[in-house]
Chains A and B, each alone.
Chain A
Amino acid sequence: MQKNLIIATWSWIVITILIEVAAVPYLSTAQWAVRGTVESLVALSAVIPMILFYMGLWEEHRSLKMFVVVSLFFCADLLLIWSASSVH
């Protein structure tokens, strides 16, 4: 089960990096500072679950909590990219 959590955390980082790359065309019209802020926040969202995992803040029985946190990050990332894509 612990390995499943490891795989889940790894998958989240991979997905987030892919989101960052996929977001580039949508952010192309935004100013550099806006693009930079959004991409940095998305990158941070990749790392934070990793830190939480590493610090043992979720164990096997808390995998639901992990799922909720990661989902929130996912929604926040998409919201950020969507908001920034309309900034010129």
Chain B
Amino acid sequence: MSHVNEPANEVETLRGGYSPTLAWLRKWLFTTDHKEVGLLYFWTSLWFVAIGGALAGLMRTQLAFPAPWDILSASAYNQAVSMHGLIMVLLFLSPLGAAFSNYFVPLQIGAKDVAYPRFNAFSYWMYLMGGIVMISGFFAPGGAAQAGWTNYAPLDSTLFSPGPGETLVGLGLLLLWGSLTMGGVNLIVTILTMRAPGMTWKKMPPFTWMTLFTQLLLLFSVPSIFVGTLALISDRVFGTVFFLNTAGSTILWENMWWFFGHPEVYVVVLPAFGAIAEVFMVFTGRPLYAKKALLISVGIILMPFSFSIYAHHMFLTGINALQREFIDLNTEINTLPSGLLVVCMALTAVGGTIKFKAPFTFAVAALVVFIIGGITGVFDSSVLLDQELRGTYQVVGHFHYIMVGAAEFGLMAAIYYWLPKWTGMMYSAAIAKLHFITSFVFFNMTFFPMFYLLEMPRRVYTYLASTSWGNINFIETLGAYGFIAAQVLLLYVLVQAFRHKGTPAPPNPWNSSGPEWTSDTKSYLDNYPAVYASPPSGQSAPHVMTAENSRPFTISVGVGLACIGLILWWPLLLIGTVLGVYGVYGWAKDDLNGAFTMPGEEKAGETWPFKQNPGETFGQWRMKVGTWLFLASDLVFFSAIAGLLIFVRLHLTDWPAVGSVFNIPMVTLNTLILVTSGLALMFALQDAKEGKGSEMTRWLVATLILGGSFLIISGFEWVDQFAKQFTFSSGMPGSTFYLLTGISGAHVFAGLLMLAYVIKKAISGKFTRENHFSIRLFSLFWMFVIAMVVILFPAIYLM
């Protein structure tokens, strides 16, 4: 039974049977199809690059001439440079890679969709809302954030950034971190568990491999800055003093930022390299040279080392000499896999029949500029040279060669390569060639001269005529104008193709052997009808995989409005909260009613390294793997909290004695209550296994009561501390206590919401002796939270 020719009316039913205009809107607001979500990422990232590019144009115009040339004030320039960096790295480059990953990874591995389609849509909407919240600062009193894209403390504090712009950036970042975590889990689980039979690890295309590496990097780097951003928001909204004290607060922020910020460079570059590898293979007609060695070097060296070398961004912060040398050495070791990437691509081309089409020219250009960016970066990793180069335009030139040059050119290669697949249309080769030539020339004209501005400090909004920097800056500005103008050609190509103007593309215009070219992407909700011809066992009707769902959109809009409302206009906070709660309720209701069907129960191919337990369905196995991955990321989150506490304690000797502030017997009892809720839950699980439905429900309710009691007692504890003048702003001990207990409490609260859902299912009689998977899944999360609270208990109260 093929789905390729699914009757149009069935598809329309899935689309809701609305009028064409509403159906179109509904499709893009509520879609959960990975291809459509991928396109949403694509167009949204282009929208953000238009804003980021306009800010870059303003900055370059300001710097075109020395003082007294003055089109931007110092404050406006600071806003432009800060928001330009944030937008380009976090709202354009990373999501552009995610656009390709969303669209092509399921196609490349032979999956029908991603593992969790609703969470995929949720990731996208949270990304968009995060971006809108960040940018809304431009409309706030005092303007947008001005503390640079790194938001260094104490510039990001209320002392130096009193306006709401920085707070909005912090809140937007929180939404973005949530989006990245969900997206990371989703894509990793998809790759781990949804590869079609025959799609083994060895056969997996390089782009999918690079997506896997990218998402692993994100999953384990984001928690650090997630905690950092929570501390920043806590400072700015609740008055804690993490970044307003002299106990190393600047360094605390830098550690948390760069633990994420350095791997983020690879997050941006690796998807581009995945696409470059695909393009090199297709346009040279050769297999990827030393693919295994390349993947091992990226997986074993580049990924783990990217976490250990982040402090090379902090050489001038006073870290000790031995540590600096160690980081320098590690950084240089990390250039080996980067070099190998270039060598492998080059050797792939040797002996091949090269077709100089647009994708290949952009791929080659990406490698050339990557070499320049890489070599100039090695200079910066030297402790000695870094003393001179840090904070100059040499660094700006270096990272633009990596981020704009290698990543953006690589992703442009991806656009030109996959555009016929997306749209079914070919594009004008002449316009693509003109786009390449102008982009390459103007890119180098903009950024290469920066290597000669070794004495010009970055982030300054003007300079004196006597510095002799004027001519170079003028050339750079002309280059920037040219580069921005060149992108109009790309926009023209995209608009023509997406509007189906021009020549229709054959099914496989490049004669690629990539699996994605064999799928029928015109068919909504089904990628490989030939592979998945049969419905799942026990089902006679055609299996409908995914459908539209409004909940991700509703919740995200609610959260976005609440964030903006919290800072700018309180009625929005109210509306957003109501909308968000309604969305969450609806999501749970959909689940209870089975209104949303997850991807099918097809048997996976290779299952290593996560084995499916006997009796466990494919969907349950996938949920379990996803939960474990999320908990692994959450473990890093709690580790970052512990790191924050240790850092603060190491830098602050004046700390209240044990028992002088907290009521130890009371908090011990409260912790034991939470531990006992775990006992009740284990009893519930045991009763579920034995098919004792009513006992199971009773124990679940007991878990809810005990968990709720923990929260209530914690609330009384807060009131008690406040009465003792131990408040958010009373000092670092207070700030640390409230952040740590607040985060633990938020976990418990989230767990109780899930538990309420599980109890509702139990009361509805949805659990049987054989199928009580939701309880098992919930108990995984709840026991994890208890474990974290047990570990944090002595750290908060007994030290």
Question: Which among B675, B779, B780, B795 is the interface contact of A13 at CB below 8 angstroms?
Answer: B675
Are the CB atoms of B675 and A36 closer together than 8 Å?
Answer: no
Which residues of A sit under 8 angstroms from B790, Cβ to Cβ?
13, 17, 43, 46-47
A10-B676, A39-B798 known; A3+B791 contact, CB < 8 A: no
Q: Does B284 contact A (CB under 8 A)?
A: no
Binary interface encoding of chain A residues 27-42 relative to chain B, with 1 for a CB under 8 A from any of its CBs, else 0: 0100011011001101
Question: Which among B646, B664, B791, B799 is the interface contact of A21 at CB below 8 angstroms?
Answer: B664
Which residues of A sit under 8 angstroms from B650, Cβ to Cβ?
33
Are the CB atoms of B799 and A35 closer together than 8 Å?
Answer: yes
Which of B190-198, B444-452, B677-685 contacts its partner? B677-685
A6-B686, A28-B658, A36-B795 known; A18+B787 contact, CB < 8 A: no
- Tell me the residues in window 34-76 of chain A with beta carbons closer than 8 Å to chain B beta carbons: 35-36, 39-40, 42-44, 46-47, 50-51, 54
Q: Does B161 contact A (CB under 8 A)?
A: no
Which chain A residue has the least Cβ–Cβ distance from B668? A21
Interface size on A, residues (CB 8 A): 28
Are the CB atoms of A39 and B668 closer together than 8 Å?
Answer: no
Are the CB atoms of A6 and B682 closer together than 8 Å?
Answer: yes
Binary interface encoding of chain B residues 772-787 relative to chain A, with 1 for a CB under 8 A from any of its CBs, else 0: 0000000110010011
Are the CB atoms of A17 and B668 closer together than 8 Å?
Answer: yes
> Measured between alpha carbons, how far is A51 from B387 in the docked complex, in Å?
48
Q: Does B722 contact A (CB under 8 A)?
A: no
Which residues of B sit under 8 angstroms from A7, Cβ to Cβ?
679
Q: Does B793 contact A (CB under 8 A)?
A: yes
Q: Does A87 contact B (CB under 8 A)?
A: no
- Tell me the residues in window 646-677 of chain B with beta carbons closer than 8 Å to chain A beta carbons: 646, 649-650, 655, 658-659, 664, 668, 671-672, 675-676
Are the CB atoms of B679 and A10 closer together than 8 Å?
Answer: yes
Are the CB atoms of B678 and A39 closer together than 8 Å?
Answer: no
- Tell me the residues in window 677-726 of chain B with beta carbons closer than 8 Å to chain A beta carbons: 678-679, 682-683, 686
Binary interface encoding of chain A residues 72-84 relative to chain B, with 1 for a CB under 8 A from any of its CBs, else 0: 0000000000000
Which chain B residue has the least Cβ–Cβ distance from A16? B790
Which chain A residue has the least Cβ–Cβ distance from B667? A21
Are the CB atoms of B679 and A43 closer together than 8 Å?
Answer: no
Question: Which among B675, B783, B791 is the interface contact of A54 at CB below 8 angstroms?
Answer: B783
Are the CB atoms of A32 and B655 closer together than 8 Å?
Answer: yes
Are the CB atoms of B672 and A14 closer together than 8 Å?
Answer: yes
Q: Does B794 contact A (CB under 8 A)?
A: yes
A17-B671, A24-B798, A36-B646 known; A6+B683 contact, CB < 8 A: yes
A2-B686, A36-B646 known; A10+B678 contact, CB < 8 A: yes
Are the CB atoms of A40 and B794 closer together than 8 Å?
Answer: yes
Q: Which DSSP category, helix, strand, loop or mixed, fits chain B's interface?
A: helix
Which residues of B sit under 8 angstroms from A10, Cβ to Cβ?
675-676, 678-679, 682
> Measured between alpha carbons, how far is A28 from B664 in the docked complex, in Å?
15
Which residues of B sit under 8 angstroms from A13, Cβ to Cβ?
675, 790
Which residues of A sit under 8 angstroms from B799, Cβ to Cβ?
32, 35-36, 39
Are the CB atoms of A44 and B655 closer together than 8 Å?
Answer: no
> Measured between alpha carbons, how far is A35 from B658 in the docked complex, in Å?
11
Which chain A residue has the least Cβ–Cβ distance from B665? A21
- Looking at the assembled complex, report how far the CB atom of B790 sits from the nearest CB atom of chain A, in whole angstroms: 5
A3-B686, A36-B646 known; A18+B794 contact, CB < 8 A: no
- Looking at the assembled complex, report how far the CB atom of A74 sits from the nearest CB atom of chain B, in whole angstroms: 16
Are the CB atoms of B649 and A32 closer together than 8 Å?
Answer: yes
Are the CB atoms of A43 and B791 closer together than 8 Å?
Answer: yes
- Looking at the assembled complex, report how far the CB atom of A7 sits from the nearest CB atom of chain B, in whole angstroms: 7
Which chain B residue has the least Cβ–Cβ distance from A47? B787
Are the CB atoms of A20 and B679 closer together than 8 Å?
Answer: no
Most buried by A among B668, B683, B780, B790: B790
Are the CB atoms of A24 and B787 closer together than 8 Å?
Answer: no
Which residues of B sit under 8 angstroms from A24, Cβ to Cβ?
658-659, 664, 798
> Measured between alpha carbons, how far is A11 from B686 in the docked complex, in Å?
17
Which chain A residue has the least Cβ–Cβ distance from B672? A14
> Measured between alpha carbons, how far is A20 from B667 in the docked complex, in Å?
13
Most buried by A among B655, B787, B794, B795: B794
Which residues of A sit under 8 angstroms from B795, Cβ to Cβ?
36, 39-40, 43
Are the CB atoms of A51 and B668 closer together than 8 Å?
Answer: no
- Looking at the assembled complex, report how far the CB atom of A34 sits from the nearest CB atom of chain B, in whole angstroms: 10
Are the CB atoms of B672 and A17 closer together than 8 Å?
Answer: yes
Which residues of B sit under 8 angstroms from A32, Cβ to Cβ?
649, 655, 799
> Measured between alpha carbons, how far is A51 from B779 in the docked complex, in Å?
12
Which chain A residue has the least Cβ–Cβ distance from B646? A36
- Looking at the assembled complex, report how far the CB atom of A72 sits from the nearest CB atom of chain B, in whole angstroms: 19
Which residues of A sit under 8 angstroms from B794, Cβ to Cβ?
20, 39-40, 42-43
> Measured between alpha carbons, how far is A40 from B664 in the docked complex, in Å?
17
Which residues of A sit under 8 angstroms from B793, Cβ to Cβ?
17, 20, 43
Are the CB atoms of A6 and B798 closer together than 8 Å?
Answer: no
- Looking at the assembled complex, report how far the CB atom of A78 sits from the nearest CB atom of chain B, in whole angstroms: 16
Which residues of A sit under 8 angstroms from B686, Cβ to Cβ?
2-3, 6
Are the CB atoms of B675 and A14 closer together than 8 Å?
Answer: yes
- Looking at the assembled complex, report how far the CB atom of A16 sits from the nearest CB atom of chain B, in whole angstroms: 8
> Measured between alpha carbons, how far is A2 from B787 in the docked complex, in Å?
21
> Measured between alpha carbons, how far is A46 from B671 in the docked complex, in Å?
13
Most buried by A among B650, B664, B679, B795: B679
Binary interface encoding of chain B residues 201-215 relative to chain A, with 1 for a CB under 8 A from any of its CBs, else 0: 000000000000000
- Looking at the assembled complex, report how far the CB atom of A2 sits from the nearest CB atom of chain B, in whole angstroms: 6
- Looking at the assembled complex, report how far the CB atom of B492 sits from the nearest CB atom of chain A, in whole angstroms: 57
Which residues of B sit under 8 angstroms from A44, Cβ to Cβ?
791
Which residues of B sit under 8 angstroms from A33, Cβ to Cβ?
650
> Measured between alpha carbons, how far is A44 from B639 in the docked complex, in Å?
13
Which residues of A sit under 8 angstroms from B798, Cβ to Cβ?
20-21, 24, 35, 39
Which residues of B sit under 8 angstroms from A43, Cβ to Cβ?
790-791, 793-795
> Measured between alpha carbons, how far is A67 from B675 in the docked complex, in Å?
20
> Measured between alpha carbons, how far is A50 from B678 in the docked complex, in Å?
10
Which residues of A sit under 8 angstroms from B672, Cβ to Cβ?
14, 17
- Looking at the assembled complex, report how far the CB atom of B473 sits from the nearest CB atom of chain A, in whole angstroms: 51
Which residues of A sit under 8 angstroms from B655, Cβ to Cβ?
32
> Measured between alpha carbons, how far is A40 from B643 in the docked complex, in Å?
13
> Measured between alpha carbons, how far is A47 from B635 in the docked complex, in Å?
14
- Looking at the assembled complex, report how far the CB atom of B798 sits from the nearest CB atom of chain A, in whole angstroms: 5
Which chain A residue has the least Cβ–Cβ distance from B652? A32
Which chain B residue has the least Cβ–Cβ distance from A46? B790
> Measured between alpha carbons, how far is A18 from B783 in the docked complex, in Å?
19
- Tell me the residues in window 279-331 of chain B with beta carbons closer than 8 Å to chain A beta carbons: none
- Looking at the assembled complex, report how far the CB atom of B57 sits from the nearest CB atom of chain A, in whole angstroms: 52
- Looking at the assembled complex, report how far the CB atom of B789 sits from the nearest CB atom of chain A, in whole angstroms: 10
Are the CB atoms of B679 and A51 closer together than 8 Å?
Answer: no
A21-B798, A36-B795 known; A6+B783 contact, CB < 8 A: no
Which chain A residue has the least Cβ–Cβ distance from B783? A54
Are the CB atoms of A6 and B679 closer together than 8 Å?
Answer: yes
Binary interface encoding of chain B residues 108-122 relative to chain A, with 1 for a CB under 8 A from any of its CBs, else 0: 000000000000000
Sample of 15 further A-B pairs with CB below 8 A, known A10-B678, A13-B790, A43-B794: A3-B683, A6-B682, A9-B682, A10-B675, A17-B672, A17-B675, A21-B668, A24-B658, A24-B659, A40-B795, A43-B790, A43-B791, A47-B787, A50-B787, A54-B779
Q: List 14 A-B contacts (CB under 8 A).
A: A2-B686, A6-B679, A6-B686, A10-B678, A10-B679, A21-B668, A24-B664, A35-B798, A35-B799, A39-B798, A39-B799, A44-B791, A50-B786, A50-B787
Could you list which residues of chain A lie within 8 angstroms of chain B, going by C-beta atoms? 2-3, 6-7, 9-10, 13-14, 17-18, 20-21, 24, 28, 32-33, 35-36, 39-40, 42-44, 46-47, 50-51, 54
Could you list which residues of chain B lie within 8 angstroms of chain A, going by C-beta atoms? 646, 649-650, 655, 658-659, 664, 668, 671-672, 675-676, 678-679, 682-683, 686, 779-780, 783, 786-787, 790-791, 793-795, 798-799
Task: Return the 5 tightest CB-CB contacts between A and B, nearest first.
Answer: A39-B794, A10-B679, A6-B682, A47-B787, A43-B791
